[in-house]
Amino acid sequence: MADEAHLAVLKQGADAWNAWRAAHAGTPADLANASLRGLDLAKANLAGADCRKADLRGTILSGATLTDANLAGANFFKSVLDAADLAGANPPPLLIASIPTAWKKFAHPLEERGSPGTRAIRCRAGFGNT
């Protein structure tokens, strides 16, 4: 379950969140099962965050840092991930959306179906060797 204090800061926007993260560098971000639907988190520092099963539908994550984040089971439907850094992240097993270039270079497609705007891609739950 997500830490309510973390959610309160994050819902103030990326600038407030990044300032909080800088001041609390040793505190891991706990956003597991959080409802972050539709938030503008462009350029947010979510490095190492626990985002398991988070609802990120429609969330703007352009330029966000998600390195080493746990994204297992998170819902990214219609999220914007342009220029997001996903290096080392544990990605969700199923994405339904246009897959941005940043994600394509890390995802290992196992199955693709649908039309280009609403394509579903099932990926391995990790990066590395194919």
57 pLDDT more than 90: yes
| pTM given for the model | 0.71
Residue 118: pLDDT band (50, 70, 90) is very low
Counting beta carbons within 10 angstroms of the beta carbon of residue 11, is it exposed (0 to 12), middle (13 to 18) or buried (19 or more)? middle
State how far the Cα of 24 lies from the Cα of 114, in Å rounded to an integer: 43
Range of the domain at 103: 1-130
Q: How many domains does the chain have?
A: 1
Chain-centroid distance, C-alpha 11? 15
pLDDT tens, 36-52? 999 999 999 999 999 99
